[in-house]
Structure 1
Amino acid sequence: MEFDLSWVLLGLPLAFGLGWMASRFDLRQIRMENRQAPKAYFKGLNFLLNEQQDQAIDAFIEAVQNDPDTSELHFALGNLFRRRGEYERAVRVHEHLLSRGDLSQADRNRAQHALALDFLKAGLLDHAETALLKLEGTSFEAQARLALLANYERSRDWALAAEVAEKLDRADQGSFAPRLAHYLCEQAALLIAQNQWPEAASLLRQATEKSPESARARLDLAKLQDKMGQVNEAWQTLHEALDHTPAAIGLMAQPLADLALRCGRAQETLQLLQTRYASHPGLDLLDAVVTLSNAQSDGELSARDWYARHLEKVPSLVAATKWIAGEKLEHEQFHPQVQRALDHAAKPLLRYRCAACGFEAMQHFWQCPGCQAWDSYPPLRVEEL
């Protein structure tokens, strides 16, 4: 059979034409998709800037559908879901990213961190812990450890929180010694509740070594020593605390005065507190001085005299209320009503206030019940702030 070369010559132009048409179709399709993806992306960005999150999510979903391999759009979409509280959808987006085999290691770590944040926001602490632990040795390690610290605080796992705080402290991520002292105090409190006093005392001593300026560690240790019948040791602990944490003298003054009365060191302690009061007058310190002064048979000043002297230094409604309690008024029959009104007015001034969120309480807290910040309560009453 003879091969007709003319068919080849006729077929070549036809094949070329068909190939050209196919390439033009593919290029047109690619250009169309490329136009659609940026358009949807910028539309979503515009909605986001105008705080129209519902429309922004719809636009980003459209962009992801047009270009499913774009990781940045997935991250934007996942973050939007998390901000809106749609944690399940955020988790699905970030888990989808992690399942992709073509994702770079940097983006994989980023997706892992985003997934951990999703779990934290959703309150799934166990899942969050697992996700955060996978970030050890990555560029997100420091952020993951801080999140783990918050996670363990929320679950009140103080032993694991202490481990993470020590790692952060060794990694020069700031000083976590004060926070570590609190964790040790929390562990000691649990042991005290179980009557394991020697073990608790050991943890509290560790806390004072880790953070010598921790007022809580020394106060808790003194209370425990007092509970164990070691009154002199408790007094000595608080006496030393005055030098290490002078700013917290208001919290320590009254316990120190009570211990001094029971261990026969009232006169010595009175002189010590009077000296401190002369340079830094405070309401709680004043009450401790009054307690010790009243216990002395030869006290130079009465309680009312001390409150009057305080009023000369500081205009204080609290001190005035206590002073007038022992005063004989001209119309004595109205004294109870006047006293009750003054006590009512002074009561809010005796509260402590969180410097971080403003939460007020009659009790001093080491960790604010409102914002969970540590050491945010100054050891001063509201009237003294």
Structure 2
Amino acid sequence: MSDFPYWWLIALPVFFGLGWLAARIDIKHVLSETRSLPAAYFKGLNFLLNGQTNQAVDVYVDIARHHAETVDLQFTLGHLFRRRGELERAIRMHQKLLARRDLTDTQKQSAQFELAKDFLKAGLFDRAESLLTELQNTEYARQARSELLAVYQQEKDWQKAIDIAQQMRDESHSYQHEIAQFHCELAEQAFARSLPEPALEHLEAALAENRQCARAKLLLGEIAQAAGKVDDAIRLWLEIESQDVLALALVARKLLSAYDALGKNEEGTQLLMRLLQQYPELDVLDLVYERLMAQRGMDAAYEFVREQLKAHPTMPGLRKVLEAHLLVAPDEQKYELEIIGKLLTEATREQTLYYCSTCGFKARQYFWHCPACSEWETYPPVRGRKNRGAA
């Protein structure tokens, strides 16, 4: 007992007292902060939580008139104005914020970033780009680069898009698919201007980024065909099978045209039939049917689609069989078959469209770049396919 530190008997009450005092001071600070907020602030917050944006804006505008020093409130108002489409008011609010001398560096950068977003939504890309570029060495750098990437894609400035995407690379996103597509866009531009060499360089760069870039092989084949190298074009297009089997549908008609140019019409038809039998989901049934009708006649086309339907029953297959059967059916059956065909076409109209697997946007034509969500390579090259993962 003689070793017991009696000074603890004095120290413990002192520590408890200091803790109590600190807590009291902190609570008083919080209460004073809360009381300093006008009651209308919480009314506006309630409107926001209930999705009543217009009412919230009215409340906060009124508060801002009487509490000009509230920086956070001005940020909130600017965001609400932009969300409501009142871009001039949003721009003025953020410009007013930037003009303040009492902002911290972080607040100034935030105001600059928000103003850039206002300009973007207003379509003032040059002003937005200037502001975003100034944020490159700040804590808003990554967000600014993301917005810049969107700007360059909208402006179709693909080289700048490549540069900014390379800067954004990290462990979470390599951007290899996007960069490969940007090179493909540049290749298409060069090829359209009859500059095959730069086009080839960009396509090689695309494949260096993403060896599975089917679009690059498709374009390489087009350049080869334009140069009269038809055999090379066929070889390049057939290499797509090892990249993305279903993407063969995008070059199927080009393949047939190339075989025809070589005088190998039947070989081209046999190739497409073999591919369809090997890969039943390959979206070329219509093309094979059309080809057989032209080369071998109605009966051969009808027999092929019937056998295809037996082996792999699908709604597109059923539509094609009905279409073929209508051509060979007796006159007394055609009226009923036409009605059935119309009903079937109406019921399966959705299966004649391409779907973006990210946002669900549907279109009659195939897109490498979704016009709705701006994502790349999100359209499965199969009509009616809503999820690429199901391929």
TM-score (structure 2 length as normaliser): 0.76
Equivalent residue number for residue 309 of structure 1: 307
Equivalent residue number for residue 259 of structure 1: 258
Equivalent residue number for residue 21 of structure 2: none
User: Structure 1 pair 97/215, CA: closer, same or farther in 2 (3 Å)?
Assistant: same
Alignment size in residue pairs: 352
Shift of 1:125: 1.1
CA RMSD in angstroms comes to 3.5
Shift of 1:274: 5.1
1:312-370 deviation per Cα after TM superposition (whole angstroms, max 9, x unaligned): 12132332144325524363775996798489657764332333444433321212334
Equivalent residue number for residue 219 of structure 1: 218
Q: Is residue 254–residue 287 contact of structure 1 (8 Å, CA) maintained in 2?
A: no
Equivalent residue number for residue 377 of structure 2: 375
Task: State the alpha-carbon separation in 2 of the partners of residues 339 and 57 from structure 1.
Answer: 56
Bigger radius of gyration among the two: 1
Equivalent residue number for residue 189 of structure 1: 188
Q: Is residue 77–residue 93 contact of structure 2 (8 Å, CA) maintained in 1?
A: yes
Shift of 1:281: 0.4
Structure 1 runs (4+) deviating above 6 angstroms are 31-34, 264-271, 291-297
Equivalent residue number for residue 327 of structure 1: 328
Task: State the alpha-carbon separation in 1 of the partners of residues 92 and 249 from structure 2.
Answer: 52
State which of 347, 358, 365 in structure 1 corresponds to 2:367.
Answer: 365
SS class of match (1:139): coil
SS class of match (1:103): coil
Q: Percent identity?
A: 35
User: Structure 1 pair 321/369, CA: closer, same or farther in 2 (3 Å)?
Assistant: farther
Aligned pairs for 1:231-380 (under 5 A) are 231-263=230-262, 273=272, 276-282=275-281, 284-287=283-286, 302-312=300-310, 313-315=312-314, 316-324=317-325, 326-329=327-330, 331=332, 341=342, 345=346, 349-380=351-382
Q: Is residue 250–residue 282 contact of structure 1 (8 Å, CA) maintained in 2?
A: no
Task: State the alpha-carbon separation in 2 of the partners of residues 366 and 251 from structure 1.
Answer: 11
Q: Is residue 148–residue 164 contact of structure 1 (8 Å, CA) maintained in 2?
A: yes
The amino acid across from 1:217 in the alignment is A
Contiguous gaps of at least 5 residues in structure 2: 1-30
Q: Is residue 37–residue 66 contact of structure 1 (8 Å, CA) maintained in 2?
A: no
User: Structure 1 pair 193/74, CA: closer, same or farther in 2 (3 Å)?
Assistant: same
Equivalent residue number for residue 126 of structure 2: 126
The amino acid across from 1:127 in the alignment is R
1:49-95 deviation per Cα after TM superposition (whole angstroms, max 9, x unaligned): 34443443343334444443332122112112111212222222222
Task: State the alpha-carbon separation in 1 of the partners of residues 51 and 335 from structure 2.
Answer: 61
Q: Is residue 40–residue 63 contact of structure 1 (8 Å, CA) maintained in 2?
A: yes
Equivalent residue number for residue 147 of structure 1: 147
Shift of 1:280: 2.4
Compare 134-143 and 93-102 and name the one that shifted more: 93-102
Shift of 1:294: 7.9
User: Structure 1 pair 60/203, CA: closer, same or farther in 2 (3 Å)?
Assistant: same
Contiguous gaps of at least 5 residues in structure 1: 1-30
1:152-195 deviation per Cα after TM superposition (whole angstroms, max 9, x unaligned): 122222221222122223x4451312112222222222222222
The amino acid across from 1:154 in the alignment is Q
TM-score (structure 1 length as normaliser): 0.77
Task: State the alpha-carbon separation in 2 of the partners of residues 158 and 47 from structure 1.
Answer: 43
Q: Is residue 364–residue 377 contact of structure 1 (8 Å, CA) maintained in 2?
A: yes
The amino acid across from 2:134 in the alignment is K
